[in-house]
Structure 1
Amino acid sequence: MTQTLTLRRPDDWHLHLRDGAMLQAVLPETTRHFARAIIMPNLVPPVVTSADAAAYRARILAALPPGADFTPLMTLYMTEQTDSADVVAAHASGLIAAVKLYPAGATTNSASGVRDMARVQPVFDAMAEAGVPLCVHGEVTDPDIDIFDREAVFIDRVLDPIRRRTPGLRVVMEHITTADACAYVRESDGTLGATITTHHLMINRNHILVGGIKPHYYCLPVAKRESHRTALVELATSGFPYVFLGTDSAPHTQANKESACGCAGVFSAPVTMACLAQVFDEANALDRLEAFASLNGPTFYRMPPNDATITLERGAPLDIPASLETGEGPVVLFDPGRPVNWHVTKA
């Protein structure tokens, strides 16, 4: 039985850092274990232009802990007014790594997102020609579609038509949650990838709803039934080259989660690597964890893997702190509610 595991330093291909006091508090929790991260642009106001991205990147770099070796990979928030030339130039300069598509109203701070995909088709075309990846929050927001069906319907109604209209467009289906999405990405020709979060590998919708509402498990896309979680684990641990880690670690204060209209988001950055080792261990796939966490993402984004390493060890159950104190209030950490016997011992 493996007791120690050394991997190339991982990257997080979907991360929320927020801004201000929250950024200051949560950034060290990512830089401790991760070398790079795709930074989500859904601030208020959102990061919509290259100038916005440059300013946000400067704030992140200024907040880095002393000695941290971390590269924020910036993204632009797509709106119906997005300038194709600005996107292409920002990517060519290395300022941004991707553009993020939020259907309007799909999740936290997505009100400025896209309602009519036809209006941004010229941007998709320019991105395909220039090799700019498109990161997609894959849910429809039609009120007649059940919340548990939004991802599957999005694939059929929105994503597949976009890809058919735009040959060569490189797309990342972010935080997939369904067997439908697993099956769709398995058909990838190399232009389609997907990220899976830590929490969607460990919880299903029962964790949110059984025995009382558990707001700290509530996220968007919402966790689905157990058969979907099982499909996600099978895909993540299979060695399939077009799926990789994106934590979607999304801090909200405890007060904003435990309210009459609690915010969507799970804060998992501090415990992700330990939790992933537990999931892969239980699937007898520890030899494939490095591909999922450290290799597949860089390959898809056409970046080299990291040279540095981290080491995890099996031991007594991980003691997960209840919360992280921030200047805005405490943020509750993700706790899968079962023992995690892996620890990061060197990073």
Structure 2
Amino acid sequence: MRDTTLTELSIRRPDDWHLHLRDGAMLAGVIGDTSRHFARAIIMPNLVPPVVTTDDAAGYRQRILDALPQGDRFEPLMTLYLTEHTNPDDVEAGHRSGLIRAVKLYPAGATTNSHSGVRDLAKVMPVLERMAKIGLTLCVHGEVTTPEIDIFDREAVFIETVLDPLRERLPELRITMEHVTTKDGVDYIRTAKANLAGSITTHHLIINRNAILVGGIRPHYYCLPVAKREEHRLALREAATSGDAHFFLGTDSAPHADPLKECGCGCAGIYTSINTMSCLAHVFEEEGALDRLEAFTSLHGPAWYGLPPNEERIRLLRRDTPVVFPARRDTGAGPVTVFDPMFPLYWDVA
């Protein structure tokens, strides 16, 4: 039940545990929308070419820092793109150095720039075994990509045929199931005994598949994993607002220039960095859970990744009139449409 009597909220500065920044002109155009509000973010490695070695990650981290607006304090937490040629020694060295915070498993063809991903899990078991030994987290895009599986069932089938067998084989491997989109995923994470957590995006708390398909195809609501039925959206909202430490924010904010979205084969991705905190405050207010917003955005993620929560705080104010966000973010790589939640937003970061 929405409580509109609360008009101000102070929380620890949030972190984003799943973020796409791209590179070059796009990176320069979008980084400020994250660094303005977020202290840290797990940075996705699916560039072209992908970030596959510790040296690649060090170079990418420096490019991110170089692109930050002057005066912003932001720490990129780097990941490696898992391939069937990844060197376990390089992974361990990157982790020991403090640079590498996780390794990302993309099933080949699952999403944007995932063609270098894993086709045969057996070929990466030496890397996964090393990660289990040293306590390094595996972030997974939890979908199968075999053509006979319906796109709306990919997450559930992944849990049954890939994730559960992997966890039985390597129970000590820490796994983040990223951008959970189904009740199946929520239920599976909740029944896990140890070493499993899940990130939830801003947009999957707000849209279901009708947003993409009703009234015409609307490409700026198309993402992967694709938004599902309403029952799954409601399960995600309940999990995010429940206070359960297994769940935390990972926006999966993914900028694409508009021409790449608005075409015959548009890219998957929704850009939410700029208005995520306003959207989340709206959702948590609707669920009568504003007192749990800080846990979801600022406490559960650091605890899972073994980091202290941020000491710095931000203030959220509930305005009397809707907060106005730009319809698009102009970048040197082209305009990027900003996520429209399809309702007015009154919460603003002061």
TM-score after normalising by structure 1 = 0.99
Matched residue, 2:7 = 3
How many angstroms apart in 1 are the aligned matches of 2:293 and 2:194? 20
Cα deviation for residue 64 of structure 1 reads 1.1
1:334 to 315, 336, 339: 339
Q: Secondary structure at the match of 1:186?
A: helix
Identity of aligned residues (%): 65
The partner residue of 2:56 within 49, 52, 75 is 52
TM-superposed CA distance for 1:50, in Å, is 0.5
Written as runs of structure 1 = structure 2, the 5 A alignment for 1:1-347 is 1-315=5-319, 316-345=321-350
Specify the SS of the correspondent of 1:105: coil
Instruction: Assess if the C-alpha contact under 8 Å between 1:188 and 1:242 holds in 2.
Output: no
Q: Distance in 1 between matches of 2:100 and 2:188?
A: 27
Q: CA deviation at 1:320?
A: 2.3
Q: For structure 2, which runs of at least 5 residues remain unmatched after alignment?
A: none
Following TM superposition, by how much is the alpha carbon of 1:321 offset from its aligned partner in structure 2, in angstroms?
A: 1.1
Aligned-pair CA distance for 1:318? 2.0
| Letter aligned with residue 332 of structure 2 | G
What secondary structure is seen at the aligned counterpart in 1 of 2:122?
Answer: helix
Aligned equivalents of 2:184, 2:260: Cα separation in 1: 32
Q: Distance in 2 between matches of 1:55 and 1:183?
A: 39
Separation (CA, whole Å) in 1 of partners of 2:163 and 2:153: 15
Partner-residue secondary structure (3-state), 2:216: coil
Report the AA paired with residue 188 of structure 1. Answer: A
Q: CA RMSD in A?
A: 0.6
Conservation of the 8 A alpha-carbon contact between 2:39 and 2:74: yes
Aligned-partner SS, 1:208:
helix
By how many angstroms is 1:94 displaced? 0.6
How many angstroms apart in 1 are the aligned matches of 2:62 and 2:288? 42
- Please state how far the C-alpha of 1:189 moved relative to its aligned partner: 2.5
Could you tell me which amino acid in structure 2 is paired with residue 318 of structure 1? V
The size of the alignment, in residue pairs, is: 345
The whole-number CA distance in structure 2 between the counterparts of 1:188 and 1:305 is 24
1:339 Cα deviation (Å)?
Answer: 1.5
Deviation at 1:242, TM superposition (A): 1.2
Aligned residues of 1:201 and 1:233 also touching (Cα < 8 A): yes
Structure 1 CA distance, aligned partners of 2:71 and 2:325?
A: 25
Q: TM-score, normalised by structure 2?
A: 0.98
